Structure 1
Amino acid sequence: MDPVAIIGNGPVGQTTALLLARWGVPTVLLDRRPERDPVGSKAICQQRDVLDIWSAVGAGERIAAEGVTWTTARTFHRDHELFTYTFAESGRAAFPPFVNISQSRTEEILDERVAAEPLVDVRWGHPVAKIDQDVDRVTLTCADGSTVVAPFAVLCAGARAEELRAMLGVGFDGHSFDDRFLICDIRTDLPGWATERRFYFDPVWNPGRQVLVHPCPGSTFRIDWQVPSDYDLDAEVADGSLDRRIRQVIGERPYEIVWKSVYRFQSRCADRLRAGRVLLAGDAAHLYSPFGARGLNSGVVDAENAAWKIAFVARGWAGEGLLESYHAERHAAARENLEITTATMDFLVPQSPAAAAHRQAVLDRAAEDPVARSMVDSGRLAEPFWYVDSPLTTPSPSRPFAGRPPRGDVPAPGPGVLVPDAPVAGGRRFRELAREGFTLLLAPGADGEAARAVAEGSAVPVAVVELDEVDVTGTLAPALDARRGEVWLLRPDAHVAAVLDRPTTAALTAALTRALGG
């Protein structure tokens, strides 16, 4: 099998390569840099379901173990706590809701997995200068004149992929924010803060603006200040203002600055996530404000969605309609993330006097008014996108999607939703089982003969699993709210493709065909 080309050896590219290797698909992983450059902590907040994806390539448990687990998000206005929320789960999840660990450390752990994988060929110092493609292949020409010819390519070259997107004829509409933000990673001792994310509106030590504090490994805390557009970090360091700024947050305790940076950010989304035989993923496909931790988390889900679909097409198990579903699903996810993060930024950084007055009124009322409190937007944290409107999903009249649940909650299981996790027979987890291919999960009373006939007649890997036999702890059935006679069709990324009530062989075949992009 010819290798798939992956442009960009960041965490999205690494994950794509490792996931393709799980399906027996070789890859060539190209990066313009001469070597890994572990500068700063970058993206630190890894969501539970992303850790679950990394678990599939042997890295999730280690990333979670080395990171700092936090389960609580607190939001303050000045010195008054407005609200606190923790994160719901259905079933029994293998990972905590969020783990904080530097992106550079995550990359190191993934590098170890890549180095142990013979199907991944890593080539540093190979900037791609030209992309050509026809109906059968993609040809990448590198700056040194070498070429890589591949049946498919995944572009995950990060935020600076303008020239590569232009070669593909892909637009990248959006805008940049004028406000600046100062990040300092500080090693110090802050008792009671090690398992909480804290967000402050208008604190006395940053009046009129925001401060976000995240715990990190090694007694390190990331502090993120909104600062004026003309902010000068070097000047603050020189005159001692940075030290005073930090001490306003942490007090007189000793500290060490591990990393500091000032940044602006953009909100943008590619108009197409599939350009012929090239799929776009991660920051090359979308850029969001950091409030909500939706950048890297979304990019890793892009990687999983792209990997199983490319693998199924490359192995002849599905037609190219499955590749088009990558755009349909992940572009919809990108648009939702853009909508959510833009709403947060509109609240954090009002774009008009009227918006600023509204924000102030909401914050002033929120201490006593639950309605106003619900309007405070300090960032809706990363969560899976639910493929309820996907062309691969078969709707179920008995399980309609009720819309986006309240902040911190998860939706009821049903078509399009990521299936709950739970321990199952053999010391395994249910999502681990589901990610081996397509799964037909039989509730009690379901027609096992029809399901087995579909599985045996399918060219793709389809497992038939009886709920009663695998649900050894009694956790999975109530998490699913499984009903007698139902058959659940699960995709290789553990999303529910269909829930069918006492289906015939024809109905099961139709749902499977649809889930394969047919």
Structure 2
Amino acid sequence: MGGPAVIVVGAGPVGQTAALLLARWGLRVLVLDRRPARDLEGSRSICQQRDVLDLWASLGVPQVAEEGLTWTTARTYYRDRELFSWSFGAQGPLPPFVNISQARTEELLDAAIAAEPLIEVRWDREVTGLEQDGEGVTVRCGDGLTRAPYVLVCAGARAHGVRQALGVTFDGHSFDDQFLICDIRADLPGWEQERRFYFDPAWNPGRQVLIHPCPGSTYRIDWQVPPGYLATSDDISRKIRQIIGNRPYELVWQSVYRFHSRIASRMRVGRVLLAGDAAHLVAPFGARGLNSGVPDAENAAWKLAAVLRGWAPEELLETYHDERHAAARENLEVTTATMRFLVPADEAGRAHQRDVLERGAIEEIDSGRFAEPYWYVDSPLTTPGRPFAGRPPRGQSPAPAPGVILPDCPIPGGRLREMCRGGFLLLLGEMCDSGLFAQILGKVTTAPLAIRELAEIDGTGALAETLGAAPDEAWLVRPDAHIAAMIPRAGTEEVAAAVSRALRLAYSES
């Protein structure tokens, strides 16, 4: 059977997703995890964004979206006064997000991995060393050496030894305040579809409390607590009672966390790539942790597959660092700004927070901007074209443009995004000759590339209208569903050049 093409270090959701993606590309994968076995407890990362749900559905795990809970209303309070509330607008083919415990997500992904013969998982294998050469990487564990052409490190925040072995720094900031997190099971009528955020409530003065509904009458409660806080059963019971009163409840899980804002200096070092919390840590407000780690895995997987299959040169892997490091920097900026408002560092910051909350200045209150896909507008793989309109209002998707993820429009028999995961996709307006493009592009690349006419997908014209696609326009979509090019008055040379650019292939007009 031969050895693995890729070793994935870490069997959390990011590593699980990476393994499933690599196997879908036909690559043999070995997953190593330092833990003795799966620890299926605790909500941990609970909020999974629509585009992550879409990816998992494409991997045969639609149950995350199906079992998760989507709350409809977000309420924000200052002390005992509601400042504002907002609700999500029109729903797409998938919910905008779901709340579901990380333990359940891991369980569902494990089932998919168990059904995949190309994936082997070995527990109780802590990686203690990495050595790479021009042909591959040797991974040292307690039970000996393992080797593969490439390694993808998804080992979480505790991947200190691996980062150190690669010469990668992990600069940033750790916040002094801690957060007590409890999962409780209780009957709370009226709370089942609401997320509640409290600034300075009487029962946690000067700090915040966040309450999320989850499936099965379970609620996740986060209290900001002072440095050095020690959780006792009496204090936890008191805190819960202050919120829910005398209703019966069951304490399912508890933990105390410190939040961090850190980013690796490099996400690619030779044949080793870093992903997820091994590469970046952000505060959880806005759910930008796991929801950025999974796109790391997808970005890495299609590029590793392209290189290993001979569809692209190894230089393509450097764009993994270019794209995902930029995404990590943006997430760091967004979440750091949130934490500056939530946890002011000095009296001036606290005074500003009080002033904003007293005035109820909604536009100035920052309790986290919800996770969204990063837009590869400036990526070396993106062919410039229709201008990017910039960050849209909260809860809305950006208009299609090169670098933006393809809208997930409903089409007859399914969703448009379902067509994107098997390779590159070329969408053509009605004035484009698909036969001619197929003939030319077959000479440019051997990578999987499907050519579809918009009129063939939806003969009513509604899809082209929804996308805003012109009749003479060609859209090139990457395997991660990001638009690589939107070419007006599309000719074969322009499209061939865009395909070559998206794979880092040398190209000259014939």
| TM-score (structure 2 length as normaliser) | 0.95
Say which is worse superposed, 174-183 or 470-479, in terms of deviation.
470-479
The question of 1:18 aligning with 2:20 is answered: yes
Q: Partner residue of 2:332?
A: 338
- The structure-2 alpha-carbon separation of the partners of 1:191 and 1:454, relative to structure 1 and needing over 3 Å to count, comes to farther
Q: Partner residue of 1:262?
A: 256
The question of 1:62 aligning with 2:48 is answered: no
Which amino acid in the other structure matches residue 423 of structure 1? P
For residues 477-517 of structure 1, give each alpha carbon's deviation from its aligned partner in whole angstroms, at most 9, with x where no partner exists. 23311122110000011110000001221111111111112
Q: In structure 2, the residue corresponding to 1:153 is in which secondary structure? A: strand
For residues 214-266 of structure 1, give each alpha carbon's deviation from its aligned partner in whole angstroms, at most 9, with x where no partner exists. 011110101101112132212xx2xx333222122112211111111111121
Select 1:514's aligned residue among 486, 491, 501: 501
Select 1:430's aligned residue among 416, 419, 425: 416
The correspondence of residues 336-415 of structure 1 with structure 2, limited to 5 A, is 336-366=330-360, 372-396=361-385, 399-415=386-402
The correspondence of residues 28-43 of structure 1 with structure 2, limited to 5 A, is 28-43=30-45
Say which is worse superposed, 407-416 or 453-462, in terms of deviation.
453-462
For residues 244-293 of structure 1, give each alpha carbon's deviation from its aligned partner in whole angstroms, at most 9, with x where no partner exists. 22122112211111111111121100010001001100110111111111
Q: Partner residue of 1:171?
A: 169
Where structure 1 has 5 or more consecutive residues not aligned to the other structure, the ranges are 367-371
Whole-angstrom CA distance in 1 between matches of 2:235 and 2:20: 45
Whole-angstrom CA distance in 2 between matches of 1:88 and 1:27: 40
Structure 1 position 173, deviation (Å):
0.4
The question of 1:466 aligning with 2:453 is answered: yes
Whole-angstrom CA distance in 2 between matches of 1:29 and 1:242: 37
Preserved contact between residue 321 and residue 517 of structure 1 (Cα < 8 Å):
yes
Q: In structure 1, the residue corresponding to 2:70 is in which secondary structure? A: strand
Q: In structure 2, the residue corresponding to 1:154 is in which secondary structure? A: strand
Which amino acid in the other structure matches residue 105 of structure 1? R
Structure 1 position 357, deviation (Å):
0.7
Q: Partner residue of 2:508?
A: none
Q: Partner residue of 1:504?
A: 491
For residues 130-164 of structure 1, give each alpha carbon's deviation from its aligned partner in whole angstroms, at most 9, with x where no partner exists. 100012211111112x2211111100001100011
Say which is worse superposed, 63-72 or 217-226, in terms of deviation.
63-72
Whole-angstrom CA distance in 2 between matches of 1:166 and 1:196: 43
Whole-angstrom CA distance in 1 between matches of 2:355 and 2:287: 27
- The structure-2 alpha-carbon separation of the partners of 1:196 and 1:256, relative to structure 1 and needing over 3 Å to count, comes to same
Q: In structure 2, the residue corresponding to 1:107 is in which secondary structure? A: helix
Q: Partner residue of 1:73?
A: 74
Runs of 4+ in 1 over 4 A off after TM superposition: 472-475
Structure 1 position 68, deviation (Å):
1.2
Say which is worse superposed, 242-251 or 298-307, in terms of deviation.
242-251
Q: Partner residue of 1:300?
A: 294
Q: In structure 1, the residue corresponding to 2:243 is in which secondary structure? A: helix
Say which is worse superposed, 479-488 or 308-317, in terms of deviation.
479-488
Preserved contact between residue 175 and residue 267 of structure 1 (Cα < 8 Å):
yes
Preserved contact between residue 424 and residue 472 of structure 1 (Cα < 8 Å):
no
Whole-angstrom CA distance in 2 between matches of 1:469 and 1:74: 44
Say which is worse superposed, 212-221 or 69-78, in terms of deviation.
69-78
Q: Partner residue of 2:225?
A: 227
Q: Partner residue of 1:421?
A: 408
Structure 1 position 436, deviation (Å):
1.4
Q: In structure 2, the residue corresponding to 1:178 is in which secondary structure? A: strand
Whole-angstrom CA distance in 2 between matches of 1:424 and 1:352: 53
Whole-angstrom CA distance in 2 between matches of 1:382 and 1:211: 20
Preserved contact between residue 422 and residue 475 of structure 1 (Cα < 8 Å):
no
Structure 1 position 73, deviation (Å):
2.3
Higher RCO (C-alpha under 8 Å, 6+ residues apart)? 1
Q: In structure 2, the residue corresponding to 1:264 is in which secondary structure? A: strand
Structure 1 position 196, deviation (Å):
2.1
Preserved contact between residue 450 and residue 504 of structure 1 (Cα < 8 Å):
no
Q: Partner residue of 1:210?
A: 208
For residues 194-218 of structure 1, give each alpha carbon's deviation from its aligned partner in whole angstroms, at most 9, with x where no partner exists. 1222111112221211110001111
Preserved contact between residue 441 and residue 496 of structure 2 (Cα < 8 Å):
no
Which amino acid in the other structure matches residue 62 of structure 1? Q
The question of 1:479 aligning with 2:478 is answered: no
Q: Partner residue of 2:437?
A: 451
For residues 50-101 of structure 1, give each alpha carbon's deviation from its aligned partner in whole angstroms, at most 9, with x where no partner exists. 0111111111x21122221224322222233223233456xx7332111111
For residues 143-188 of structure 1, give each alpha carbon's deviation from its aligned partner in whole angstroms, at most 9, with x where no partner exists. 12x2211111100001100011100111100111000111111111
Which amino acid in the other structure matches residue 489 of structure 2? R
Say which is worse superposed, 197-206 or 492-501, in terms of deviation.
197-206
Which amino acid in the other structure matches residue 204 of structure 1? A
Whole-angstrom CA distance in 2 between matches of 1:115 and 1:244: 43
Where structure 2 has 5 or more consecutive residues not aligned to the other structure, the ranges are 506-510
Select 1:52's aligned residue among 51, 54, 58: 54
For residues 285-343 of structure 1, give each alpha carbon's deviation from its aligned partner in whole angstroms, at most 9, with x where no partner exists. 11111111111111111111111110010000001121011001100000000000100
Whole-angstrom CA distance in 2 between matches of 1:10 and 1:321: 28
Whole-angstrom CA distance in 1 between matches of 2:31 and 2:205: 46
Q: Partner residue of 1:369?
A: none
Q: In structure 1, the residue corresponding to 2:487 is in which secondary structure? A: strand
Select 2:479's aligned residue among 461, 467, 492: 492
Preserved contact between residue 438 and residue 489 of structure 1 (Cα < 8 Å):
yes
Whole-angstrom CA distance in 1 between matches of 2:495 and 2:384: 13
Whole-angstrom CA distance in 1 between matches of 2:294 and 2:313: 24
The question of 1:281 aligning with 2:285 is answered: no
Preserved contact between residue 434 and residue 452 of structure 2 (Cα < 8 Å):
no
Whole-angstrom CA distance in 2 between matches of 1:86 and 1:454: 48
- The structure-2 alpha-carbon separation of the partners of 1:337 and 1:475, relative to structure 1 and needing over 3 Å to count, comes to farther
Structure 1 position 3, deviation (Å):
2.2
The question of 1:102 aligning with 2:101 is answered: yes
Structure 1 position 472, deviation (Å):
5.7
Preserved contact between residue 268 and residue 287 of structure 1 (Cα < 8 Å):
yes
Structure 1 position 475, deviation (Å):
4.8
Q: In structure 2, the residue corresponding to 1:394 is in which secondary structure? A: coil
The question of 1:309 aligning with 2:307 is answered: no
Structure 1 position 473, deviation (Å):
7.0
| TM-score (structure 1 length as normaliser) | 0.94
Whole-angstrom CA distance in 2 between matches of 1:143 and 1:473: 61
